[in-house]
Amino acid sequence: MARKKIALIGAGQIGGTLAHLAALKDLGDIVLFDIQDGVAAGKALDLAQSGPVEGFDAKLKGTTEYKDIEGADVVIVTAGVPRKPGMSRDDLLEINLKVMEQVGAGIAKYAKDAFVICITNPLDAMVWALQKFSGLPANRVVGMAGVLDSGRFRHFIADELGVSVEDVTAFVLGGHGDTMVPLARYSTVAGIPLTDVVKMGWMSKEKLDQIIQRTRDGGAEIVGLLKTGSAFYAPAASAIAMAESYLKDKKRVLPVAAQLTGQYGVKGTYVGVPVVVGAGGAEKIVEISLNSAEQKAFDKSVGAVESLIEACKKIAPKLA
């Protein structure tokens, strides 16, 4: 069987880490694309030289030409600019929307059969625009946010309780922003819902609320520490988990920014929901029942994404 091909559009902090992880996991051959001359080629060469040490055979190529992504099975998009301290993800909208137009055209021309994972922020609006600009079917264009947000939630819970991260599951719905909705009653420690963990007295309600807020602010906390960019290890690991589920048809149920077609009362907008990810891309959107407080928080989050989409339509009228 021919090796799979993974194209990474954007060879910055996340792009380089994606390439490293994809190579270490032997997911396929890797093409790194960037508009900045030499960055992609330099990282590809550096990573290729780690192959003999690590024992991977993945071929790595750096390029500034879209034709090199031809026939890619998976395309992961991080092209654009990241946040600086004091900036919200939404501040990136105008610049990154233009980038999505170029990337969408490149994918449409050379990789129209790929599964596309967008990471560029503001995520829910950018993945919506990328699907439109590329013209690929919505089940093959998804956004990475929920795996990262739930990873942050899981880390904080496991750390607080002193238990293995493996035994903590977390459920985060909604847009990748300050309005994201971490759901305590669907998040568990070894199957015990966090609401019961509080009832048992294992964690206080105040601590859980603090953790939920810290999860919402998880990206900003890292931007504040790094000062010159945003998080990259956990975002890259999260997108690789999605790519792996697609390439190996694992059918994992992951929180993914997917285009809703009426689920949760939403049509056309991309927002974070549980999705079965397999060889068919976003194969199934899982619709859970929400109580009234959760539905209200979800609706608020969807409203925030919709206002960003409206802003995109004003900047690029052809998206309307």
Interface residues toward ligand APR, by CB under 6 A: 9-15, 34-36, 39, 78-83, 92, 96, 99, 102, 119-121, 229-230, 232, 235
**Which residue in the shown chain puts its C-beta closest to ligand APR?**
12
Smallest gap, in angstroms, from Cβ of residue 251 to ligand APR? 26
Q: H or E segment at 116?
A: strand 115-118
Query: Any known ligand binding at 179?
Result: no
Structure tokens at 130: 């990328």
Task: Find out whether 22 and 6 touch, Cβ atoms under 8 Å.
Answer: yes
Smallest gap, in angstroms, from Cβ of residue 92 to ligand APR? 6
Q: Which is nearer to ligand APR, 184 or 241 (CB)?
A: 241
Smallest gap, in angstroms, from Cβ of residue 126 to ligand APR? 8
* 176 included as an active-site residue: yes
Q: How far is CA 194 from CA 202, 274, 286, 288, in A?
A: 9, 18, 21, 17
Q: Where are the alpha helices (DSSP H) in the chain?
A: 13-24, 39-48, 51-54, 93-110, 123-134, 146-161, 194-199, 205-216, 218-226, 233-247, 292-315
Query: Any known ligand binding at 140?
Result: no
Instruction: For residues 300 and 288, give the distance between their C-alpha atoms in angstroms, rounded to a whole number.
Output: 17
User: How far from chain centre, in Å, is Cα 55?
Assistant: 28
Q: Which is nearer to ligand APR, 83 or 155 (CB)?
A: 83
Coil, strand, or helix at residue 61?
A: strand
Smallest gap, in angstroms, from Cβ of residue 75 to ligand APR? 12
Q: H or E segment at 77?
A: strand 74-77
Query: Any known ligand binding at 14?
Result: yes
Q: Which is nearer to ligand APR, 40 or 194 (CB)?
A: 40
Instruction: For residues 88 and 107, give the distance between their C-alpha atoms in angstroms, rounded to a whole number.
Output: 28
Q: Which is nearer to ligand APR, 4 or 176 (CB)?
A: 176
| Catalytic position from the list 132, 140, 176, 216 | 176
Residue list, annotated binding site for substrate: 83, 89, 121, 152
Q: Which residues are annotated as a binding site for NAD(+)?
A: 10-15, 34, 96, 119-121
> Which parts are annotated binding residues?
10-15, 34, 83, 89, 96, 119-121, 152
Q: What positions carry a catalytic annotation?
A: 176
